[in-house]
Amino acid sequence: MEHHKDNTLVQRIAKLVKQNEELSNELKQLREKYETLLVKHDEYEQIVNKYTDYTKVKTVLSTGQEKSLKFNMVTVLYANIHGFSEILPEMNIDLLSDQLDQIFMHFDEIIHEYPIEKIHTIGDSFMCAGGIPNKNITNPIEVVLAAHRMLYFVKDFSVENNSVWEICLAIHTGPVTASQGGKNKIFYDIKGDTVNTVSRLESASINGTLIISVMTYELVKEFFDCEYYCKLPVKYKGFIDTFTVKGIKPELSENGLGIVPNQKFYTSFALIQFHDLQEHILDMLERGLTSDFYYHNIKHTVDVVTEVELIGLAEGVTDEDILLLKTAALFHDCGLTVSYDDHEFHGAQLAREMLPKFNYPTALIDRICELIMATKLPPKPKNLLEAIICDSDLDYLGRTDFIPVSNKLYEELKVRNKIGTLNEWNQAQLNFISKHQYFTKTARKLREVNKQIQIERIRNLIV
């Protein structure tokens, strides 16, 4: 009996030893798996940290000074590169890191071509914004165009490199609060509902799509083919409509493929951008022209800009011609901020200096400068566009307010000792207007009859 108990105890001990060995082996395997996970975690962290600029964050925190500015119309792009979820053990982490680096470097190159500010790159996400720090009316178009190029680049890159990268992009337009940070003020941070909304849009997108909010859609629908996507719940905003951008409108793209903008696209874009250019030039005139510019003032410039479009449309010129005419009209008296004499020449010089900043090609700038020079008196237009701007510049000769406008020009010349008495001025005006002729059918129809009435009015003023 005693011998049987001893055998049973030995068996139980042997069983416990075996179980302990099994548990030890299992624990060893778990530790090995844990260490493997730690290694992969470290590798992933290195990739993430590579694209997170903590230096900028630390710089802002150390200075403790941020100047926040409110912008009412900013278009924010949020892009998320997908590919890490598809990483397999046999894949080369360094190679994938290099590829992601190439993608983001190309994104930087794309936005550098537009007035778009990079906000940050964190891990596999990329954010940028148009409309800061310089406000402009075209930022929704520019940001969507940049995003469109990013989408195609990632698709082509994945095919060429046989890689796993895919991209989701979302865009929303609205107000933001922007603060400039860093020791040299080299980057921006943006906050507000617009940033939260674009993040929400991105989370609802699928790979290979560019989603825009209805706010952005209304501002770009003339340029891009869009398709309704869904109503999306957004915190504090309820549901907002969203759209996917399928491409550039065929008639605005090279060969109708919807990928590369054509000249018609850029002309339509420039006509919208003209509002920003006009604001810039009118501000320059307001600061540069003294109060004794009684005639050649902002009102005259705006009148000529309006008139060239009116006559141009009536004469049936192209959209590109309208752009040329309006831009030339905007600059035709800018040279007065430099010199009263030969101001047409100085205006053309200012156009050559400023228009490249608004992406006007050299060929168009040359034609604009020719139109500016055509306004030099006496008018001698060589083509229809020159005839239109000459008629617009002297439109007041056939208007009912000719006398008071003419008197303002007299006061302006008198203060500069360029004319004698008012009676001498009226005689000079009579001689000029009697020989003057309008060159376009539209101007002759609108102004010629009334011009003859003004001739009789001047004759009655001469003593």
Select from 234, 220, 210, 229 the least CA-distant residue to 173: 220
- Confidence check: pLDDT of 162 > 80: no
Torsion, Cα of 376, 378, 384, 385 (10° steps): 20
Predicted pLDDT at 236 = 74
Least confident among 41-50, 65-74, 97-106, 176-185: 41-50
Q: Are strands 116-122 and 125-130 parallel, antiparallel or unpaired?
A: antiparallel
Instruction: Supply the Cα-derived Rg of the chain in whole angstroms.
Output: 34
| pLDDT band, residue 456 (cuts 50/70/90) | confident
Residue type, 444: R
CB 59 within 8 A of CB 159: no
435-446 pLDDT per residue, tens: 899 999 999 999
CB 154 within 8 A of CB 166: yes
- Identify the residue whose tokens are 């600059």: 331
pTM value? 0.78
Average pLDDT for 207-227: 95
In whole angstroms, give the CA distance from residue 198 to residue 340. 51
φ/ψ of 290, rounded to 5, equals -75, 170
Predicted pLDDT at 459 = 87
296-338 pLDDT per residue, tens: 999 999 999 999 999 999 999 999 999 999 999 999 999 999 9
Please calculate the CA angle 121-123-125 and round it to the nearest 5 degrees. Answer: 55
